[in-house]
């Protein structure tokens, strides 16, 4: 068991799959000798060479188009879009081509490709470089969507994404890149569509994703010690497929559900979860489902304003305490 940062685990996951399968290639802006703008791909260029680790022009459309063509012709590409906000530049190709090709060709063409991207706030990059856009991808049929919160999960879920026969978008939270955690030695691979119960509890369920997971865990510890409220914390890890069984089983036990979402409130992933739980687990609920979210506003660049906008540990604690009372 090694202790790696989240960014080191990203590189480890990519390296594991490139070493295992020579069809895996990697392309994106500054991912080669520079090691990536977030230093999440350090060492890959030196190990696998310029034929399999390719720096591209500053063109998201070129990156995604090349990845799609490579997947159609037998490779298993990993493409990096530097910031998830930049999906807006190449969204037509992702949403209208990559997501639909297998369906529109009746399975004659599959697209086993991965799109990695840095997502989320916390780095003071402003409204055009700080969004959480996982709900954009979640809304498109044909795409699988994962967002790991720990170094161990990011390595294992990248491996699972590379091996999957369908297009997978991996959202890596830029504010987690420096976080350290234990990562199993050797080859590791996880299962897409499986959530994890990280903290058992009996009074309420808190569902979280990516950066919100460690905040939910800290809030759960405070709620237990300061208010005697026992919270079950679930790391969703995957939005498509979504592990509804784990969520519904937890709500059946606790009878209360909170979602902690960094994405803007309108049409966020928590709204879909609330809909599923209301439809399939309504009679297990003792209170309305409560969503703790970012307001429906562009993200500010000022540090205090950004911190006040996205869900904090204090806001999670106060919301749960107030509504539980």
Active site residues: 60, 129
Could you give the residue ranges of the DSSP H alpha helices within the chain?
A: 6-20, 44-48, 60-72, 87-92, 101-104, 134-138, 151-163, 212-227, 244-254, 269-280, 303-309, 313-324
Rg over CA atoms, the chain = 19
d(CA 98, CA 285): 39
Q: Please provide the DSSP assignment of 178-228 as one string.
A: T-EEEE-SS-----TT--EEEE--SSEEEEE-TTHHHHHHHHHHHHHHHH-
d(CA 44, CA 307): 34
Query: In whole angstroms, how far apart are CA 319 and each of 222, 263, 292?
Result: 13, 18, 8
| Angle at the Cα of 200 from the Cα atoms of 195 and 205, rounded to 5 degrees | 70
- CA-closest candidate to residue 139, choices 209, 60, 64, 242: 242
């Amino acid at each position: 068991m090694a202790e790696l940062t989240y960014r080191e685990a990203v590189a480890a996951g990519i390296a594991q799959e490139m070493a295992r399968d020579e069809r895996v290639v990697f392309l994106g802006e500054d991912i080669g000798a520079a090691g990536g703008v977030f230093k999440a791909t350090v060492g890959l260029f030196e190990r696998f060479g310029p034929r399999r680790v390719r720096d591209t022009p500053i063109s998201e459309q070129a990156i995604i188009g090349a990845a799609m063509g490579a997947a159609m012709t037998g490779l298993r590409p990993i493409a990096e879009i530097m910031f998830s906000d930049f999906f807006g530049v190449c969204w037509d190709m992702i949403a209208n081509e990559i997501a639909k090709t297998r369906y529109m060709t009746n399975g004659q063409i599959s697209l086993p490709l991965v799109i990695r991207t840095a997502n989320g706030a916390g780095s003071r990059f402003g409204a055009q470089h700080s969004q959480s856009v996982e709900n954009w991808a979640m809304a498109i049929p044909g795409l699988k969507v994962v967002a790991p919160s720990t170094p161990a999960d990011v390595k294992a879920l990248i491996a699972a994404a590379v091996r999957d026969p369908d297009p997978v978008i991996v959202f890596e939270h830029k504010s987690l890149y420096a976080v350290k955690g234990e990562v199993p030695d050797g080859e590791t691979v996880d299962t897409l569509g499986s959530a994890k119960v990280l903290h058992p509890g009996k009074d309420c369920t808190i569902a979280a994703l990516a950066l919100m997971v460690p905040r939910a865990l800290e809030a759960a510890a405070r709620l237990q010690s300061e208010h005697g409220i026992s919270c079950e914390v679930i790391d969703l890890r995957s939005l498509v497929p979504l592990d509804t069984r784990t969520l519904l089983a937890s709500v059946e036990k606790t009878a209360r559900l909170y979602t902690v979402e960094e994405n803007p409130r309108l049409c966020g992933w928590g709204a879909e979860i609330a809909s599923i739980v209301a439809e399939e687990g309504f009679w297990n609920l003792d209170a309305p489902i409560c969503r703790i979210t970012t307001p429906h506003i562009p993200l500010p660049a000022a540090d205090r304003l950004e911190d006040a906008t996205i869900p904090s540990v204090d806001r999670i604690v106060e919301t749960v305490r107030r509504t539980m009372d």
